[in-house]
Amino acid sequence: MRQPSLLIGSASVTGASWLTCAALLGAVAFAQQYPPQPTQQYPAYGQTAPPYYGAAPSFSPRELDDLVARVALYSDPLLAEVLTASTFPDQIQQAAWWSHQHRYLYGDGLARAIAMDRLPYDPSVLGLIPFPMVLDMLAMDTGWTQQLGAAVLADRSDVMDAVQRMRQRAWDAGYLRDSPEQRVIARGPGWIEIVPASPGYYYVPTYNPAVVFYRPARGVSIGLGISFGPRIYIGANFASYGWAGPSLDWRAHTVIIDRRPWTRTWANRGQYQHYQSPRPSGPAVERHEKEIHQRERHDDRHDRGRDHDR
């Protein structure tokens, strides 16, 4: 795992040494927050974000830029999962608790445990359980999560435009480039795709929004502005949790889940069902045996050889 950069790249940096030092300290603190390391400091199980009421909200372009900044550089499939999951903020914390309690599970064993425990969450939320750092970020900042979800429901076209604006800024600043973890495909202004370098293998990028969206000051090296967490493998057993062809159609401003448009909106949010099979009803039930899945995890990791193929 590469370490986050400690080099400041903000356009507001001046030649004053004290200001440069302050910016560096701020960059380090911010980079440690997004995404945060998995933690147990969630609100109590069952505490949920308040439901949406009233008319659809509206956001200015600058507000949307701020909302999407911390996830704009995620690969397109992972970002599609984050955008859809954010529209269920009342389920995020509970899913994060389950994920933390079952952090010893990986790969197919994790997928089987999700099914056996009959987790009553939307598949888009279940699809983030293999990504504890991402789920933890959503659970720790429910205000931001709810705002992002509201924006996605109210006008996802504007949200996707904001993502492209931030990607363009990171590209222009020199930070967003191909890496061993992901490919960056710049098809033109306002159309930058990010895809995994190896199909099925995902890495969560870690970066400081106060750095990577600004050109570095003169004489300051770009360095490693974007670093990545461990490799996470998403296999066929996660297809029913939104991982059957997730993508983003930038030209049509459409989120694709299960190879078809995801059309949940503010107006139909109470009735929309994207998945064919209904979610389990009632509370989650601990049905699997920890020892069995620990052994399966050992076997899976032995077969795959390295990293956290979750």
| Per-residue pLDDT at 310 | 53
Domain assignment present for 289: yes
Domain span at residue 119 reads 17-36+57-304
In a domain, residue 5? The reply is no
Asked, for residue 148, whether it belongs to a domain, the answer is yes
User: Of 242, 213, 239, 238, whose CA–CA distance to 226 is shortest?
Assistant: 213
Q: Quick one: pLDDT at residue 1?
A: 42
With respect to residue 163, please indicate whether it lies within any of the assigned structural domains: yes
> Would you say residue 259 lies in a domain?
yes
Distance CA 230, CA 188 (A): 30
The per-residue pLDDT for 21 is 39
Q: Averaged in consecutive runs of 10 residues, what is the pLDDT profile of the chain (310 residues)?
A: 36 35 39 45 49 83 98 98 96 95 92 93 95 96 96 97 98 94 92 96 96 85 84 94 94 94 93 67 54 45 47
Length of the chain as a residue count: 310
Residue 94, domain member (yes or no): yes
Count of structural domains, the chain: 1
* Cα(45)–Cα(242) distance, integer angstroms: 24
Q: Is 3 within the bounds of a domain?
A: no
Distances (CA, A) of 224 to 2, 31, 43, 206, 242: 8, 12, 34, 10, 31
Asked whether residue 43 is assigned to any structural domain, the reply reads: no
Residue 292 amino acid letter:
I
